[in-house]
Chain A
Amino acid sequence: AAIRRMSNNTVPDETVLKQMLSEIARALLEADVNVRAVQQLRGNVLSAVDISSLGAGVNKVKLIQKAVFDELCRMLDAGHKAVPLKRGHGSNVVMFVGLQGNGKTTTCAKYAYHYSRKGWKTCLVCADTFRAGAFDQLKQNATKAKIPFYGSYTETDPVAIATAGVERFRAEGYDLIVVDTSGRHKQEVALFEEMEQMTSAVKPTDIVFVMDSSIGQAAHDQAAAFRSRVDVGSVIITKLDGHAKGGGALSAVAATRSPITFIGTGEHIDEFEPFVAERFVGRLLGMGDVSGLMTT
């Protein structure tokens, strides 16, 4: 909305630029972008666009829009690609971590399903022994998607299950072994230690950090804490079928220094899409079609 309002202004000067940036900053705060990141973005745009040096005839509004847009895309760019999964060189083990209830178990199933539809030999391991009904949840999802799974109703040590499950599926030559873990948070030290142990036990190819798109200002600290303990290599943002704009995603990228690979758009197994930064930024700013900004 902020962007749309700006478009009515044809000749911005320094004050108009500042006012526009204020409105954009506001929109971003309402989208749950981290307070400090918003301040930074403001500074970066101000220094990127030198209004006074621009001659007549230049569409200054568009220029500013593009600067904001580019800056947001830059913030979503981790600077490197996601950890590549390769077929035919042994099993890829991908471990899912994240806060409680953010969508790990659901997303594990979606992720496994995505690869199985591409013809990969895929399976699921339930290493959550904490949450009531966790194994049933994974089992029912896996069964519906016709994906082999491993778990236990009696073993209480999640590291032991993860080790056994990964070992078995490795021996059976699976291309992709997806490991689901319990929800955890940085304040609970024992849970983070368990996550480290799990990592040393299963030696994952990639660790996916799953984050709910509705998260507010706690996003950065939590994501950074996960990254400080294990080698998070990619991020998946869930529940984007909801109303939340998902500004926490910027924090997740900044804090984990990892790219967003997929998004979750519903509770069903196929409601899962590759992440497209430009579309996501459009959503953040409350704009529909942003292709005009991308082509200039």
Chain B
Amino acid sequence: VVSFFRGLAGVQQLTATELAPALASVRDALISKNVTADIAERLCASVGASLDGVTMASMTTITATVRSALRDALTRLLTPRQSTDILADIAAKRAAGGGPFVIVYCGVNGVGKSTSLAKTAFYLQRHGLSVLLAACDTFRAGAVEQLRTHATCLGVTLYDRGYGRDAAGVASDAIRRAREAGTDVVLVDTAGRMQDNGPLMAALAKLVAANDPDRVFFVGEALVGNDGVDQLTKFNAALADHQAGSGRVRLVDGVVLTKFDTVDDRVGAAVSMVYATGVPVVFVGVGQTYMDLRTMNTGALVKALLR
């Protein structure tokens, strides 16, 4: 950012006082786009710091300068540092004969875990992979039938043992079954749980520790407000706490952000979650059919945020 502005024939040195009103209005705009209040503030503070004392191009307004710096900051933030392509990793594991690639879906109640899992199954199938769905939500009414319906529609295998079972045990049986059958990928559904519910979070960590999946996906919804960051942070913390002392500690590797089709351009939840944790957004859900799974388009997202 700095070098960009120095390169122009500037006349005006920006000061913190001059920047303040523009930063405040940008902050409010971000909050109304559903970026959490404190993260909107922190983003604006860092943009302000990067512009303080910088020479501004003579033809640009302070607002335009701030917006442009913010656009850069958001783009940098939202561009994943490592590849989020799971297909390559699945292929690698398959080539190495390492058994099924296991993905666990977790998150709070009703965010779209089971639906996203079914969409992922469809996506993997279209790439020639065989899939098994593991019905490890053994609690919520209708959860098993919901997954069975998806399995039937998609023509993939379902492993279920009904309700009331220990989810970790069901998952390991499902993985064993998939290994025997030579299935490429196991998608593990889990029951929704509130991030402050100690016993349920411990049970999730137990499932993860016992089955050592290749990926743990946290599912959140684009609709969520300030709670989103808290959810993701606490799911991660619970996984870390309950696996302390064991060998490889599995944390959340990716975020699936659902219901993007319901928020218009209030897409700030993506910013907040990535800013707070650095966990990349692997997929976004944009509707209720199997086709409605996308990867994130950083450019479009940033554009919506600044609109």
Contact = CB atoms under 8 A, between A and B. Distances in A.
B112 A101 contact: yes
Interface residues of B, number: 50
Contacts of B28: 35
Interface in B21-37: 28, 31-34, 36-37
Contacts of B266: 216-218
A100 B145 CA distance: 18
Nearest to A266: B194
Nearest to B113: A101
Interface stretch (A41-49, A54-62, A130-138, A199-207): A130-138
A38 B180 CA distance: 58
Given A214-B108, A216-B226, A185 B146 contact: no
Given A137-B142, A217-B33, A242 B196 contact: yes
A217 B142 contact: no
Given A137-B146, A218-B262, A243 B37 contact: no
A32 B33 CA distance: 12
B149 A218 contact: no
Given A35-B32, A217-B268, A267-B109, A245 B226 contact: yes
Contacts of A35: 28, 31-32
Question: What bracket does the count of chain A residues touching chain B fall in?
Answer: 35 or more
B141 interface: yes
A26 B37 contact: yes
A29 interface: yes
Interface in B121-169: 139-150, 153
Interface in A27-53: 29-32, 35-36
Contact of A133 (B148, B228, B288): B148
B18 interface: no
B80 interface: no
Majority SS of interface residues in chain A?
loop
Interface in A160-209: 185-188
B198 interface: no
A5 B262 CA distance: 37
A243 B109 CA distance: 12
Interface in B73-115: 108-112, 114
A239 B153 CA distance: 31
Nearest to B200: A267
B143 to A, nearest CB: 7
Contacts of A134: 142, 146
Interface in A108-162: 130-141, 144
Contact of B194 (A215, A241, A247): A241
B241 interface: no
B110 A136 contact: no
B268 A131 contact: no
A187 B261 contact: yes
Given A100-B112, A239-B109, A242-B195, A217 B34 contact: yes
A103 interface: yes
B269 interface: yes
Given A30-B226, A242-B194, A217 B109 contact: no
A283 to B, nearest CB: 13
Nearest to A132: B149
A74 to B, nearest CB: 22
B223 interface: yes
Interface in A235-293: 239, 241-245, 247-248, 267
Interface string A90-108: 0000000001111101000
Given A133-B149, A243-B227, A267-B139, 12 more contacts: A29-B37, A30-B37, A132-B145, A135-B142, A136-B141, A214-B223, A216-B34, A216-B225, A217-B34, A239-B108, A242-B195, A243-B231
21 contacts: A26-B37, A99-B262, A100-B112, A100-B288, A103-B109, A130-B288, A132-B150, A132-B153, A133-B144, A136-B141, A136-B145, A144-B141, A186-B262, A187-B261, A216-B223, A216-B224, A216-B226, A216-B266, A216-B268, A241-B194, A247-B225
Interface of B: 28, 31-34, 36-38, 108-112, 114, 118, 139-150, 153, 194-196, 221, 223-228, 230-231, 234, 259, 261-264, 266, 268-269, 288
Interface of A: 26, 29-32, 35-36, 99-103, 105, 130-141, 144, 185-188, 212, 214-219, 221-222, 239, 241-245, 247-248, 267
